[in-house]
Structure 1
Amino acid sequence: MTLVSSLSSSAADVNDKYNNKRLPKGIHIVEADDASDSKVRGMSKNEEEGAPWGYIFIQHMSAGSFEKKLESLKLEGTFRPKCFIHRTVRYKQKPNGKGVMKEEKPTVSGLVFLQGETNQLRTFLIQNFPHYYLVNDCSTGRPAVIADRQMRPFMRIMKEAPERVTFLRDPFEKFAKDHVKLRVLTGVLKGQEGYIVRILRDRQLVMEFGGYAVAISNVHREDFEIAE
């Protein structure tokens, strides 16, 4: 792992560069060492990694129905994947006109995540939902596989503050050209890697997520190290 001693325990200045790429201003980048590396990469005994995840596309009006049908299936002794639906938060005025109310709905794209090995998920869908197929990762051409250690913080953020998550149109590879890849050392995203990119006047962490580029906001208080 490359060490950048000039950035040890200090926020990166706008003029700092690494491999001819400008480091993000105002992001706390610390020098990597053996202690931080083991802390980030290791998992506690009580947090063993589970099976990976794949996902399907469902029209947003049907995503909730899919979830209910999945829960009601009688599958005694057979594989039943855990389901997680990416929802969008909207705020609308209350009927009485006083204040606003929070409303969660599946996204327009209808992303439905299912936990299990690819072969398990394929067989399950063929047997129970033959009209739906696992979405391929555009970079590999094979069904997308999301590690459980990456899915867990994503689900936590989606449940606690879904407004922090934005799926981007541009491919993840686009951001590698002008940005330095960083690894998060603190917070719910500890261990995740990506690029700090200014989006809508906010510095956000852009990560690769099942073939998508996903931006996570409100990361400016976290510690980072260079991952390249």
Structure 2
Amino acid sequence: MPDRQSLAALLPLGLAMALVGASFGAVAVAAGVSLPQVLALSVVVYAGGAQFLVVAAVVAGAAPAAVVFGGLLLNARHLPYGLVLADVLRGSWPSRIFGAHLMTDEATAFTTAELASHGDVARARKTFFAAGITLFLAWNVGTAIGAVGGNFLGDPNALGIDAAFPAALLALTAGAWRTRVDRRVALLGAAVAVVATPVLPAGLGVIAGLLGLIAAGRGR
């Protein structure tokens, strides 16, 4: 099961996830997306950035192909996530597909932190599904509340909710920076991502950061 540090971070993350989900539900309904469609988006797509993109596309009248392409770019970082979690999610195909659907930045951070702390794949698997299911439920409950209750939250960024996710990810992964090489790899990867994000299409800054990880990690 998740350790105390992970559990302490999971509860506020779940709340933040629900609040942002509520914001999405309210915005989507206000944009003209039907209630069943809003709920289905959160269950089937389960990707905040891509879901907000769909709503923006509905308002702008964008072509479906453009929406799909944009969603793929936004979520391209899940490719390396899948490689990192390959051993953790190993098993039957239904289990792998379910795990892939639950894969988010936060669930991946929880799991990699567990692996770094204990090196136990079976324990990391339990951590992944505990975090993944909790956050999935929080997102969908929040979406339903927002869609039914209206736009009562306003902009979640005004509440500082947007800062909760990166802060929690930083706290979770910091325990893995045990050596100077670990810190060099993490810092260079982060620097590349920060520089690349403003100039690359949305979602590709993280992929560019992986190049920094590879360069800094040579010689380990």
Q: TM-score range by the shorter chain?
A: under 0.3
Taking structure 1 as the reference length, the TM-score comes to: 0.22
Instruction: Give the structure with the larger strand fraction.
Output: 1
Larger Rg: 1
The higher-RCO structure (CA 8 Å, 6+ apart) is 2
Taking structure 2 as the reference length, the TM-score comes to: 0.23
